[in-house]
């Protein structure tokens, strides 16, 4: 390491080396070299003298020395060794520089001392002006590759040392920020990726550099800079108009190996759009299911399970707003408009400190910013849904909007369903409206809003309706090149309503809603080129109306029943540091301190300690006034991950993190159903917590076009909620009497192989994972399976996924998706008997058996319209078949009595090949 001298070092030396005289060291050396390479040559001379050598091993690698001398000074030895060669040496103090082709002069030219003096004066002046001067300076818009952009106040010569370069990377056509673009500096071999605002900051040695900028779906580009002092540069990227669809997972080709995070995947909407889905419309959540470590209980659910976590343990964020029910239409569709989504990021293991409050994962969905230059839009027509979006500038280059809408006309499909669902109806729609405004160079504001509605009836007179609503305002402020902040405030609401009006005497309305008010301030401080610090705070005020059951109409005899509302405040302070200890070793460590307050007004039952929470064990109850703190849970979350690069394309990473969750979804159905309720932690329901340790090996091959990774993890779950047999979850004032705290463990290994470029691209993943739960505390109520470990509902040990895309020509490509997994656990009947006039079954221990294995293959053909850039509309077709083999995958199996006889049935959701077609138009 020490001997690796780059040209840069010479500058330092030239500037600081004031001692000019060559000191004659009288040490005499004897050597005997026979065809010796430079490394050995140098180390031997160093050992025998007190000189240090500096040279470029690449340039010197063809040097072979054959020399035998006795008791000669070092100058003589070097002269003899390099005689009649292109190699030169220079001696200055105790340092010897070896060069090829040109010799280093260790003396300064006459008159240099005066220039030096002037420079030093200027340097002192600059140190003061560094930050003040750039304030008023216009930020460079670097648009061409061949020009050399000068950054910072010009000095001559260029001062030594590092300075900070920052700026934005934007799309030249829409003015939209490019997230995850990698800026790579070839001369120093370091790089940085842009954040969610397209912002980057990097510490570089002053001097001339070439920046190489790469981003998903954008043309690779470079910028040449002459870097004098701290400064800004904005880079605009051109879209790859004719780009063939590629299944690329990661924005940064080297991110797989170089990033410090484990278990993080970013997917661009272009990737998402080529994966075949049941009804032809790109589905954000279905794609997540193809990633290793992610499973679901079945097809009719968009609830997903990450590394052994339940479906409610995923924090789903849409532009920072929490989405409680991310599904439409019984879970057949994700509730996100694919025409607006820009990208998604799934964190399975290394969850950044700024996120918290859920145990398993964070799915961060980002919508596009509106086009700041032109009005554009798109529309899509599918078999079940249609969508439309329009975007454009309000003030050119400053303010833009984007609006999206989606609706369904799915009733015809329901009439094709079996008798049991034939007389059903379903409608849904969703709307997004986002505004972004650039106040000035340092301030941006973003307003995003979202509304989704669902209403359906399943062959009965009961109508279910649910809705997500959220609005958020985000303000981004750059203090200076090193520090910026994002302050977010918002309101999220999820509600559902169930009503039945068929019989006027029992007509009812059942309503549930959850409201949360968020405030968040996130700071990003680029301390030095070795430390990037994140810190901030967040606070969420939850208000839940856990259920009101009220008569509908005057005739109704229903007794009005209202479960008292709940309130809680979840706050957190966090601090994290990404520390580049050496170019190969990076550590990211952080702490998030959570404080949770359960607030009144509320009446809380106090139960006798160490006895099951049941009515008979209630000691008394305490009533708290509104806003009064009932109890507080405080705990730190630890987030650590580290990366060590073993070779150019190989690294190992390890991580440990802990998480806490204070809001729980109560559901004893296999999939998330629209009638599930959320419950806040209270004195009787402890917060859930988990900790996870994970390790991985990451390798890139074939010029970073093939990425391979193996990750293993082990996770512990505490106070995981399971339910007593026959638990009543809806309209239950004393829910703590029907739930039990279980503990769990999850472990697994995930293998991923991706090809990111070429005619054939895609990924292949295999996951082995287990999730086991246990309830062995007899004081908590009933023991499940006698207190031994049992598999969780979503425990699927083997899971295999292949997603591939093959391009025939620029216009035609084919996508194939293959999924296999072990059947999920099920509780099966093991004996039968007669009771209540009918044959009935006796069930096995919980989740003792499994449903048949799952297999599905999908196929789609993507046809692009012509590729002329300048035309009024661009259109494309997607035609395909979902479940190509028509395998009747069991969603569930069940045993039910019909006419007094027990029969087993298997319920399949998509039991036949489903053809689909989609037409998209862009204008």
Q: Which of 315, 327, 828, 884 binds other proteins (CB under 8 A)?
A: 828
Please say which residue, 192 or 563, places its beta carbon nearer to other proteins.
563
Please say which residue, 549 or 751, places its beta carbon nearer to other proteins.
549
388 touches other proteins by CB under 8 A:
no
> Which residue reads 């790089």 in tokens?
191
Q: Which of 37, 72, 807, 840 binds other proteins (CB under 8 A)?
A: 840
Residues 428-467, one symbol each (x = binds other proteins by CB under 8 A, - = not), give ------------------------------x---------
By CB under 8 A, the residues from 157 to 186 that bind other proteins are: none
CA angle in degrees (0–180, nearest 5) for 708-710-716:
150
Please choose, out of 38-46, 389-397, 691-699, 826-834, the segment that lies near other proteins by the rule CB under 8 A.
Answer: 826-834
Residues 709-748, one symbol each (x = binds other proteins by CB under 8 A, - = not), give ----------------xxx---------------------
899 touches other proteins by CB under 8 A:
yes
Question: How many CA atoms, within 13 angstroms, populate the side-chain half-sphere of residue 614?
Answer: 9
Q: Are strands 52-54 and 207-214 parallel, antiparallel or unpaired?
A: unpaired
Long-range pairs for 137-144 at CB < 8 Å and ≥24 separation? Answer: 137/231, 137/232, 139/167, 139/232, 139/233, 139/234, 139/441, 140/167, 140/231, 140/232, 140/233, 140/234, 141/234, 141/236, 142/223, 142/225, 142/233, 142/234, 142/235, 142/236, 143/172, 143/236
- Minimum separation from the CB atom of position 222 to other proteins (A): 43
> Which residue reads 């409050």 in tokens?
357
Q: Which of 662, 530, 537, 526 is nearest to 591 (CA)?
A: 537
- Minimum separation from the CB atom of position 460 to other proteins (A): 10
829 touches other proteins by CB under 8 A:
yes
Residues 532-561, one symbol each (x = binds other proteins by CB under 8 A, - = not), give -----------------x-------xxx-x
* SS3 (DSSP) at 564: coil
Say if residues 235 and 142 touch (Cβ distance below 8 Å): yes
Please say which residue, 397 or 411, places its beta carbon nearer to other proteins.
411
- Minimum separation from the CB atom of position 646 to other proteins (A): 47
- Minimum separation from the CB atom of position 845 to other proteins (A): 8
CA angle in degrees (0–180, nearest 5) for 131-133-137:
115
910 touches other proteins by CB under 8 A:
yes
Q: Which of 203, 314, 892, 920 binds other proteins (CB under 8 A)?
A: 892
- For helices 38-48 and 74-82, angle between their N-to-C axes, nearest 10 degrees: 170
Please say which residue, 8 or 557, places its beta carbon nearer to other proteins.
557
Please choose, out of 52-60, 398-406, 758-766, 904-912, the segment that lies near other proteins by the rule CB under 8 A.
Answer: 904-912
Please say which residue, 532 or 860, places its beta carbon nearer to other proteins.
860
Q: Are strands 162-171 and 231-237 parallel, antiparallel or unpaired?
A: parallel
773 touches other proteins by CB under 8 A:
no
Please choose, out of 73-81, 432-440, 568-576, 906-914, the segment that lies near other proteins by the rule CB under 8 A.
Answer: 906-914
Measure Cα distances from 443 to 140, 194, 310 in Å: 17, 17, 39
827 touches other proteins by CB under 8 A:
yes
By CB under 8 A, the residues from 645 to 674 that bind other proteins are: 668-671, 673-674
The span from the CA of 545 to the CA of 494, in Å, is 11
Please say which residue, 85 or 460, places its beta carbon nearer to other proteins.
460
Please say which residue, 17 or 386, places its beta carbon nearer to other proteins.
386
- Minimum separation from the CB atom of position 853 to other proteins (A): 13
Q: Report the b/e string of 214-233 with b at 16+ CB within 10 A.
A: bbbbbeebbbebebbbbbbb
By CB under 8 A, the residues from 675 to 694 that bind other proteins are: 675
The span from the CA of 560 to the CA of 759, in Å, is 64
Q: Which of 591, 595, 894, 922 binds other proteins (CB under 8 A)?
A: 894
Say if residues 404 and 415 touch (Cβ distance below 8 Å): no
Tokens of 905: 């049935």
Q: Are strands 361-367 and 314-318 parallel, antiparallel or unpaired?
A: parallel
417 touches other proteins by CB under 8 A:
yes
21 touches other proteins by CB under 8 A:
no
- Minimum separation from the CB atom of position 836 to other proteins (A): 5
Say if residues 344 and 288 touch (Cβ distance below 8 Å): yes
Q: 893 phi and psi, to 5 degrees?
A: -120, 150
Please say which residue, 101 or 418, places its beta carbon nearer to other proteins.
418
912 touches other proteins by CB under 8 A:
yes
Please say which residue, 506 or 705, places its beta carbon nearer to other proteins.
506
The span from the CA of 143 to the CA of 471, in Å, is 35
Please say which residue, 122 or 839, places its beta carbon nearer to other proteins.
839
378 touches other proteins by CB under 8 A:
no
CA angle in degrees (0–180, nearest 5) for 169-171-172:
110
């Amino acid at each position: 390491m020490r001997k690796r001298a780059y040209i840069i070092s010479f500058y330092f030396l030239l500037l600081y080396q004031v001692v000019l005289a060559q000191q004659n060291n009288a040490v005499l050396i004897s050597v005997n070299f026979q065809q010796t390479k430079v490394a050995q040559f140098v180390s031997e001379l160093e050992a025998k003298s007190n000189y240090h050598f500096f040279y470029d091993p690449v340039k010197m690698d063809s040097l072979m020395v054959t020399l035998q001398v006795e008791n000669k000074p070092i100058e003589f030895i070097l002269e003899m060794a390099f005689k009649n060669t292109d190699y030169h040496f220079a001696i200055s103090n105790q340092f010897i520089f070896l060069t090829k082709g040109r010799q280093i002069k260790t003396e300064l030219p006459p008159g240099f001392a005066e220039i030096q003096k002037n420079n030093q004066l200027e340097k002192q002046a600059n140190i003061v002006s560094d930050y003040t001067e750039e304030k008023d300076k216009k930020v460079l818009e670097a648009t061409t590759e061949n020009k050399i952009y000068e950054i910072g106040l010009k000095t001559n010569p260029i001062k030594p040392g590092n300075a900070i370069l920052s700026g934005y990377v934007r799309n030249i056509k829409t003015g939209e920020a490019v997230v995850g673009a990698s800026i790579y500096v070839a001369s120093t071999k370091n790089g940085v990726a842009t954040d969610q605002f397209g912002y980057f900051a990097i510490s570089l040695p002053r001097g001339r550099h070439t920046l190489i900028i790469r981003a998903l779906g954008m043309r690779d580009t470079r910028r040449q800079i002459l870097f004098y002092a701290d400064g800004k540069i904005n880079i605009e990227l051109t879209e790859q108009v004719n780009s063939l669809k590629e299944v690329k997972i990661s924005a940064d080709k080297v991110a797989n190996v170089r990033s410090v995070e484990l278990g993080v995947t970013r997917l661009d909407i272009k990737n998402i759009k080529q994966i075949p889905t049941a009804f032809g419309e790109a589905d954000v959540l279905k794609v997540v299911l193809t990633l290793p470590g992610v499973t679901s209980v079945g097809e009719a659910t968009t609830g997903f399970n990450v590394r052994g976590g339940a479906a409610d343990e995923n924090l789903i964020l849409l532009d920072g707003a929490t989405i409680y029910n991310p599904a439409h239409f019984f879970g057949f569709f994700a509730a996100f408009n694919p025409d607006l989504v820009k990208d998604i990021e799934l964190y399975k293991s290394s969850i950044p400190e700024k996120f918290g409050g859920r145990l398993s994962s964070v799915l961060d969905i980002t919508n596009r910013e509106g086009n700041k230059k032109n009005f554009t839009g798109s529309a899509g027509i599918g078999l079940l849904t249609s969508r439309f979006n329009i975007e454009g500038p309000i003030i050119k280059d400053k303010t833009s909007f984007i609006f999206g809408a989606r609706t369904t006309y799915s009733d015809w499909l329901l009439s094709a369903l079996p008798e049991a669902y034939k007389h059903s109806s379903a409608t849904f729609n969703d709307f997004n409206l986002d505004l972004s405004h650039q106040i000035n160079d340092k301030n941006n504001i973003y307003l995003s809003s979202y509304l989704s509605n669902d209403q359906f009836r399943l062959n009965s007179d009961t109508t279910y309706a649910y809705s997500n609503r959220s609005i958020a305002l985000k303000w981004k402020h750059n203090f200076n090149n090193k520090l910026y902040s994002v302050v977010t405030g918002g309101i999220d609401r999820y509600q559902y309503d169930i009503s039945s009006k068929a019989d006027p005497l029992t007509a009812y309305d059942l309503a549930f809603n959850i409201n949360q008010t968020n405030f968040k301030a996130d700071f990003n401080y680029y301390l030095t080129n070795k430390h990037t610090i994140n810190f901030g705070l967040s606070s969420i005020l939850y208000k839940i109306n856990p259920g009101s059951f009220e008569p509908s109409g005057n005739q109704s005899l229903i007794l009005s029943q209202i479960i008292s509302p709940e309130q809680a405040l979840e706050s957190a302070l966090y601090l994290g540091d990404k520390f580049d200890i050496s170019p190969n070793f990076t550590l990211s460590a952080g702490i998030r301190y959570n404080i949770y307050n359960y607030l009144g007004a509320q009446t809380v039952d106090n139960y006798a300690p160490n006895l099951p929470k049941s009515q008979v064990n209630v000691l008394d109850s305490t009533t708290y006034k509104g806003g009064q703190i009932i109890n507080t849970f405080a705990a730190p979350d630890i987030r650590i991950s580290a990366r060590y690069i073993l070779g150019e394309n190989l690294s190992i990473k390890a991580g440990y993190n802990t998480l806490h969750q204070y809001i729980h979804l109560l559901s004893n159905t296999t999939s998330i159903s629209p009638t599930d309720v959320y419950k806040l932690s209270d004195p009787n329901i402890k917060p859930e917590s988990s900790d996870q340790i994970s390790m991985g090996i990451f390798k890139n091959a074939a010029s970073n076009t093939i990425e391979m990774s193996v990750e293993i993890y082990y996770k512990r779950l505490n106070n995981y909620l399971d339910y007593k047999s026959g638990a009543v979850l809806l309209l239950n004032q004393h829910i703590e009497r029907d739930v039990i705290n279980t503990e769990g463990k999850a472990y697994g290994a995930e293998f991923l192989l991706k090809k990111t470029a070429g005619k054939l691209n895609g990924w292949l993943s295999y996951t082995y994972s287990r999730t086991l739960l246990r309830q062995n505390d007899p004081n908590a109520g009933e023991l499940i399976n006698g207190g031994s470990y049992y598999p969780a509902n979503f425990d699927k040990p083997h899971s295999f996924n292949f997603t591939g895309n093959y391009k025939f020509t620029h216009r035609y490509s084919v996508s194939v998706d293959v999924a296999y997994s072990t059947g999920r656990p099920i509780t099966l009947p093991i004996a039968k008997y007669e009771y209540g006039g009918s044959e009935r079954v006796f069930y096995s221990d919980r989740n003792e058996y499994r449903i048949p294995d799952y297999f599905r293959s999908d196929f789609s053909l993507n046809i692009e319209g012509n590729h002329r850039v300048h035309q009024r509309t661009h259109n494309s077709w997607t035609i395909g078949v979902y479940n190509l083999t028509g395998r009747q995958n069991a969603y569930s199996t069940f045993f039910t009595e019909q006419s007094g006889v027990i029969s087993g049935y298997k319920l399949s959701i998509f039991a036949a090949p489903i053809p689909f077609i989609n037409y998209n138009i862009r204008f």
